[in-house]
């Protein structure tokens, strides 16, 4: 059984004051589970300083390039240098609004690992895809390029299943729906390499709250959560972490 991990994706929310409040609370009351917090870029250094090692800090994206003339991009080496140890890769909002495809996402994963960052690879289907009954083939396709490119190194990746229809909508996948997709993801990993399916932590994300976290985290193939909106509320987030034991 894996140690549970709860990740906080602040998206494009926050301020110096909110960073101080949320990281101050987490550093003062460190949860029993592992926690990784993903603030926007400008607050990363402050978050690393305030976390005092009690929780991990990560970025919401990184460049696929090592360095160079890529205006607006942030490299994995820069993130590592300022103390970030995690990075989200392939969040559905990056896929949707920044047109990130599976090949680019695989390249970002590879770059993250070269730079000593643990990537959280996000996958998930849209409502239309779920209604058309193609959830499993969508997830399998999203996993294919990263698995192929990284091979055994994929063991260093954390995955998050985030049904797009459940992100920020208040509509959570039921524990049964989430467990079914997580079990499918594990079977895909096992088909690639039996070791991978045992090693990799699979998080669920999509309107996780203190009220639904216990049932979701009790599922056999759910190793924690990726939390958006509710991670901006200190008490709510601590309650979600408390459900991850
Ligand atoms: C997310 O941003 O990854 C997410 C799951 O958001 P929310 O919890 O708000 O649905």
- pLDDT tens across the length of the chain (245 residues): 689 999 999 999 999 999 999 999 999 999 999 999 999 999 999 999 999 999 999 999 999 999 999 999 999 999 999 999 999 999 999 999 999 999 999 999 999 999 999 999 999 999 999 999 999 999 999 999 999 999 999 999 999 999 999 998 888 889 999 999 999 999 999 999 989 999 999 999 999 999 999 999 999 999 999 999 999 999 999 999 999 98
CB 155 within 8 A of CB 2: no
Task: Identify the three-state secondary structure at position 108.
Answer: helix
Q: How much distance in Å is there from the Cα of 213 to the middle of ligand 1?
A: 13
CA distance 157 to 188: 14
The reported pTM is 0.97
Count CB neighbours of 194 within 10 A. Answer: 10
Domain boundaries, the chain: 5-243
Q: What is the pLDDT of residue 1?
A: 67
As to burial, measured by CB atoms within 10 angstroms (0-12 exposed, 13-18 middle, 19+ buried), residue 54 is middle
Ligand 1 centroid, distance to 170 Cα (angstroms): 9
User: Which residues, in sequence order, are CB contacts of 37 under 8 Å at separation 6+?
Assistant: 7, 8, 10, 22, 23, 26, 47, 51, 55, 56, 57, 58, 231
Atom of ligand 1 nearest to the CA of 91: 3
From the CB of 209, is ligand 1 less than 6 Å away? no
pLDDT at residue 172, as a whole number: 85
Separation of 68 CA from ligand 1 center, angstroms? Answer: 32
> What gap in Å lies between CA 145 and CA 171, rounded to an integer?
29
5-243: in CATH 3.40.50.1820:
no
Q: Active-site residue numbers?
A: 91, 162
Residue 205 CB less than 6 A away from ligand 1: yes
CB distance 124 to ligand 1 below 6 Å:
no
207 Cβ inside 6 Å of ligand 1 = yes
- Closest to 75 measured CA to CA, from 97, 36, 107: 107
């Amino acid at each position: 059984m894996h140690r549970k991990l709860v990740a906080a994706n602040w998206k494009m929310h926050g301020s110096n004051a909110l960073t101080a409040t949320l990281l101050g609370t987490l550093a003062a009351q460190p949860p029993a589970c592992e926690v990784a917090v993903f603030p926007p870029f400008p607050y990363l250094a402050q978050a690393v300083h305030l976390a005092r090692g009690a929780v991990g800090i990560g970025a919401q994206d990184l460049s696929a390039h090592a360095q160079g003339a890529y205006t607006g991009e942030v490299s994995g080496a820069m993130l590592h240098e300022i103390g970030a140890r995690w990075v989200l890769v392939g969040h559905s909002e990056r896929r949707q609004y920044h047109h990130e495809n599976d090949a680019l996402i695989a390249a970002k994963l590879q770059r993250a690992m070269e730079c000593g960052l643990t990537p959280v690879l996000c996958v998930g289907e849209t409502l239309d895809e779920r209604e058309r009954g193609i959830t499993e083939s969508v997830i399998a396709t999203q996993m294919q390029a990263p698995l192929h490119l990284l091979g055994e190194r994929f063991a260093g990746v954390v995955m998050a299943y985030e049904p797009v229809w459940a992100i920020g909508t208040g509509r959570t996948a039921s524990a049964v729906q989430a467990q079914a997709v997580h079990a499918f993801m594990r079977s895909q990993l096992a088909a690639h390499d039996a070791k991978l399916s045992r090693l990799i932590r699979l998080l669920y994300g999509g309107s996780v709250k203190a009220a639904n976290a216990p049932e979701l985290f009790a599922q056999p193939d759910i190793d924690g959560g990726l939390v958006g909106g509710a991670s901006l509320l200190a008490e709510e987030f601590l309650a979600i972490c408390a459900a991850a034991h």
